[in-house]
Amino acid sequence: MKDAEKKGSAYLHGWDFQEGFWHGPIPLARPGRGARATSRKLKDTPGAFHGKLRCSVPGLPCIEFHTTVYDLLDIGVAIIHVDGASGGPAGVMAVIPATRRKHLRAEFPFELVTSVAFLGGRMKGDSGLALHDYIEEVLRTELTSTQIFAIETAELSPEVNIVLSEHFEHLSAAMMEWLAAKDAAEMYESELSQPGGDEVCVAA
């Protein structure tokens, strides 16, 4: 993929818990109705968001995901629970905006994998190493685009897995919009705090 094509783009990488491998990268299209509904819930949240987010796929029941979203210095993180899942969360997702890459911690791949384990997310065999190495390689080679890593961490029914995948896509688009809006607001406040930033020129 050419650098010109990647710049300003966003790609979703999905870890399949059942099969133990990565899907993607999947280019994210323009946000659909589901993502816009999620965006409306996130946009007025000054800090962390915690609440129920609904998602549906034609032909399958609508599912409520108990979702917590955090805005950290370098990334956005979401922890997703679903009723009926045993142990820890059903999924963990990290959104790394291209505009924040300069702040990204070198230890991020290791921290994400260990966080999944700490939260009680299930991993089969040596999947922790596969998660770490894949994320590290993507971040080493893809420097100009937003990267999203969505990790399934529970054994769910095929139907719930399908809806969870759709929720990952809606939530990732909403989180990108939310993080971008917060960055823009912080930049505006920073400009106002500069000497003369809030002065108004009045004609004599």
Model pTM above 0.75: yes
d(CA 200, CA 182): 25
CB 61 within 8 A of CB 157: no
What digits encode the pLDDT tens for the residues 159-169? Answer: 998 999 999 99
Report pLDDT digits (tens) over 80-115.
999 876 668 999 999 999 999 999 989 999 999 988
More confident residue, 174 or 46: 174
Question: Given the structure tokens 């034609």, which residue do they identify?
Answer: 58
Q: Decide: residue 113, CB within 10 A, 0-12 exposed, 13-18 middle, 19+ buried.
A: buried
- The Cα 8–Cα 165 span in angstroms is 23
Contact 151, 122 (CB under 8 A): no
